């Protein structure tokens, strides 16, 4: 049920996003934008769509923030892969944008994807109420910016040059920004569209985001690079502290499972209607890519 819903939502969100990008001039920057958003699982967009369904929000409205968060997520990956950041040459099994084109095009494509995200959530077709659109825009800015995802990236880069490895609490804070902030926004977006209480989905997403990152750390140690579509064991090679290096593999797995249980419990106000979101939480710690 979950895998079918994820695939179905990802297809619709990708089509919506591609249609928006196709409206730009056919230049390397727009070609790189299309390239960057292709091939992902679409988990963040799925969270928007599923949260909207829980609150009886029309799909035609939910597609706008779902496409927005996929654009913002793609921007973060394009910039994260740059030589000045993680210096990766493979993403989703394909050459990264700066390898496929060049660094300048990658920077501009990332910039364009980020700003496209704000264009999408502020479009009147997203929601008739300008107050709702303003709330989505402001909350997305906070999730993506220096108090959210960018903060996590900055802390991650600072840790690479630090004299001592990060502690478990410090890594938790770092990943709550780097990975968790956009996941949290995705899960809350449906409630924001409906003007409903965001707290149940916020608590769900906070646990989900941390479980997702622990699973990533486990994959980095024992995953298959061909399935992951990216270079693995980067953190170990860089001497970075991770949940696995601090907890060990078995304890990291137990911690991820506990977080999934917490995420599922947070959905109790929605009853059986949230079973697909519960399956999503279980998926993030069982995936191989």
Domain range list for the chain: 2-284
Please tell me the distance from the alpha carbon of residue 96 to that of residue 107, in angstroms, as a whole number. Answer: 12
**Position 229 pLDDT exceeds 60:** no
How far is the C-alpha of 56 from the C-alpha of 190, rounded, in Å?
A: 9
Q: What is the pLDDT of residue 168?
A: 93
Reported as a pLDDT band with limits 50, 70 and 90, residue 234 is: low
Residues 98 and 84 sit within 8 Å (Cβ to Cβ): no
**Three-class HEC string of the chain:** CHHHHHHHHHHHHHHHHHHHHCCCCCCHHHHHHHHHHCCCCCHHHHHHHHHHHHCCCCHHHHHHHHHHHHHHHHHHHHHHCCCCCCCCCEECCEECHHHHCCHHHHHHHHHHHHHHHHHHHCCCCCCCCHHHHHHHHHHHHHHHCCCCHHHHHHHHHHHHCCCCCCCHHHHHHHHHHHCHHHHHHHHHHHHHHHCCCCHHHHHHHHHHHHHHHHHHHHHHHHCCHHHHCCCCCHHHHHCCCCHHHHHCHHHHHHHHHHHHHHHHHHCHHHHHHHHHHHHHHHHHCCCCC
Q: What is the mean pLDDT of residues 167-172?
A: 93
Is domain 2-284 given the CATH code 3.10.150.10 in the classification? Answer: no
> Cα 80 to the chain's mean position, in Å?
13
Cα separation, 287 vs 280, in Å, equals 10
**Does position 231 have pLDDT exceeding 70, yes or no?**
no
Over 90: is that where the pLDDT of 221 sits? Answer: no
Average pLDDT over residues 198-203: 98
- Of 241, 218, 205, residue with least CA distance to 288: 218
Least confident of 46-55, 205-214, 220-229, 274-283: 220-229
In the predicted model, what is the mean pLDDT of residues 248-258? 94
pLDDT score at 287: 81
Q: How confident is the model at residue 163 (pLDDT cuts 50, 70, 90)?
A: confident
Q: pLDDT class for 288, splitting at 50, 70, 90? A: confident
> How much is the pLDDT for 238?
62
Give residue 78's pLDDT. 98
Q: Encode pLDDT of 146-157 as tens digits.
A: 999 999 999 999
pLDDT tens by residue, 33-74: 999 999 999 999 999 999 999 999 999 999 999 999 999 999
- What's the pTM? 0.93
Residues above pLDDT 90, as percent of the chain: 84
pLDDT band with cut points at 50, 70 and 90 for residue 240: confident
Question: CA dihedral in degrees (178, 181, 182, 186; nearest 10)?
Answer: 160
- CA distance linking residue 151 with residue 18, whole number of Å: 29
Closest CA to 274 of 285, 262, 286, 266: 266
pLDDT of residue 233 exceeding 70? no
- Per-residue tokens: 53: 């369904």
pLDDT in the model for residue 286: 87
């Amino acid at each position: 049920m979950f895998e079918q819903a994820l695939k179905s939502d990802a297809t619709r969100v990708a089509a919506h996003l591609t249609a928006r990008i196709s409206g730009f001039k056919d230049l390397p920057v727009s070609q790189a934008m299309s390239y960057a958003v292709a091939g992902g699982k679409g988990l963040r967009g799925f969270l928007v769509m599923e949260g909207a369904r829980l609150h009886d929000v029309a799909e035609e409205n939910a597609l706008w923030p779902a496409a927005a968060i996929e654009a913002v997520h793609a921007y973060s990956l394009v910039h994260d892969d740059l030589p000045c950041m993680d210096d990766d040459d493979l993403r989703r099994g394909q050459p990264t944008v700066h390898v496929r084109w060049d660094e300048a095009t990658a920077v501009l494509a990332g910039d364009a994807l980020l700003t496209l995200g704000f264009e999408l959530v502020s479009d009147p077709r997203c929601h008739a109420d300008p107050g709702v659109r303003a709330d989505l825009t402001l909350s997305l800015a906070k999730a993506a910016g220096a108090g959210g995802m960018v903060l996590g990236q900055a802390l991650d880069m600072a840790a690479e040059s630090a004299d001592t490895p990060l502690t478990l609490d410090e890594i938790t804070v770092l990943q709550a920004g780097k990975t968790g902030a956009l996941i949290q926004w995705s899960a809350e977006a449906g409630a924001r569209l409906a003007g409903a209480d965001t707290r149940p989905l916020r608590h769900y997403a906070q646990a989900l985001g941390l479980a997702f990152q622990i699973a990533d750390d486990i994959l980095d140690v024992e995953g298959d690079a061909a399935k992951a579509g990216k270079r693995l064991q980067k953190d170990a090679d860089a001497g970075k502290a991770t949940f696995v290096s601090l907890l060990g593999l078995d304890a990291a797995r137990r911690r991820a499972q506990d977080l999934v249980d917490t995420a599922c419990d947070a959905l109790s106000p929605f009853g059986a209607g949230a079973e697909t979101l519960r399956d999503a939480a279980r998926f993030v710690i069982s995936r191989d890519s």
